[in-house]
Amino acid sequence: MTTTQLPEGLADSAARIGGPDGVLTDAQVHDFIVGQLRDHPFEGRSVCVIVPDATRVCPLPQLMRAVHEGLHGRASRITVLIALGTHSAMSETALGALLGYEPGRLEETYPGVTVLNHEWWKPETFADLGTIPQSRIEELSEGRIHQEVRVLLNRAVVDHDVSLVVGPALPHEVVGISGGNKYFFPGVAGQEIIDVSHWLGALITSSEIIGTTGITPVRALINEGSALIPSEKLAVKIVTAEGSGLHSVSFGSTDAAWASAAEVCAQTHVHYLDAPVKRVLSLVPRMYDEIWTGAKGFYKVEPVVADGGEVIVYAPHITEVARNHPEILEIGYHCRDYFVKQWDRFKTVHWGTLAHSTHLRGAGTYDADTGTEELRVKVTLATRIPREVCESINLGYLDPDSVDVDAYWHDPDTLVVPNAGEMLYRLGGPRS
């Protein structure tokens, strides 16, 4: 993978408060956001505020109060759009908890605001921004993908004068560091660019791309699609602190604010180990309610597991694999080469599903002549998903009631990761 360095001065072109070595007060966060928004020309312009769903740790009520204060009475219209990607729609109760208002009383907390789920399952949701030609896709993907890509985006983004992305920057298995234009693609995008971007990341592999701060091929593709968006693109990007609070808040264009936050994220959200570990017990939080999202408990630790080691994804609350992607139950979980070397068999499956499969199964090889798949580490689910289902999708099973977490904490061969899915674990030192 070739990683393009960030354009010189890009991160510095965003305004930022805070950094990797401290935690901001609530007043500092509020005053910074309100001040930055009040200094920007929003008068008479409509604003689409794009935020993450509940699968990200983010103090959205705190941020939304400041954003609303900075925009209310100035913007002609404010729409909050939930960047679901292909996750399930959020109920009114869940939206209230996410954004900080009593369900059914949105207007009382945020006057003049409309809240929308990204209804990715409805064709009428999308506006067609055009097509990225095959030659450009080949260039951006460094020769890995050979097709044009149609760029569909939630029309709410197109129908507003300004798009304001609000959310965290985190190490990410597909793009390197999440945030910025990723909230458009895949956050509120159509299936084709989601599939292509995710499969591109899978071809590079999660362990290679995750936590990379530069412009990875996947981010380059996302940026290419974002260049077709007609509205002004701004972002309030945060970096959360372990436990609570924020290390930093950045404001500027989606590119600049992301670059600024990524600098901090790379210093705060990566733990480095001197040597690989035999076993990881990932304690998956309840915000991940299916393996489709709970798999982050594997992505973030794969780089530190020794060859032949094991990752136990401990999530007694999870009962299903992927409610919106039943095809994963048919193809199971396999390494990248399992699909690449049988491409005619799998090419019609959503490439985003193939990517998810490889990300959870990790590194390995496949011999097409013998049909033998060799996998670098063992992946075991300690969830409420039955043994027969786990084994049918090529994953191990462990009865969650048999897991003694305290015993694992005292086992020298085991790394126990609380709140798994946010912090990245790597060997050695920082990388660009």
Assign 294 to helix, strand or coil: helix
Q: What is the pLDDT of residue 431?
A: 59
CA distance 373 to 225: 36
Question: Which of the pair, 132 or 10, is modelled with greater confidence?
Answer: 132
Angle CA 130–135–141, to nearest 5:
95
CA distance 102 to 367: 56
Per residue in 317-357, pLDDT tens? 999 999 999 999 999 999 999 999 999 999 999 999 999 99
Q: Examine the pLDDT at 383 and tell me if it is beyond 70.
A: yes
CA distance 252 to 33: 11
Buried-state track 329-353, b at ≥16 Cβ within 10 A, e below 16: eebebbbbbbbeeeeeebeebbbbb
Per residue in 165-222, pLDDT tens? 999 999 999 999 999 999 999 999 999 999 999 999 999 999 999 999 889 999 999 9
Ordered structural domains, the chain, with CATH: 11-270 (3.40.50.11440), 274-427 (3.90.226.30)
**Residues β-bridged to residue 427:** 273
246-253 and 232-240 strand pairing:
antiparallel
Q: What is the pLDDT of residue 430?
A: 66
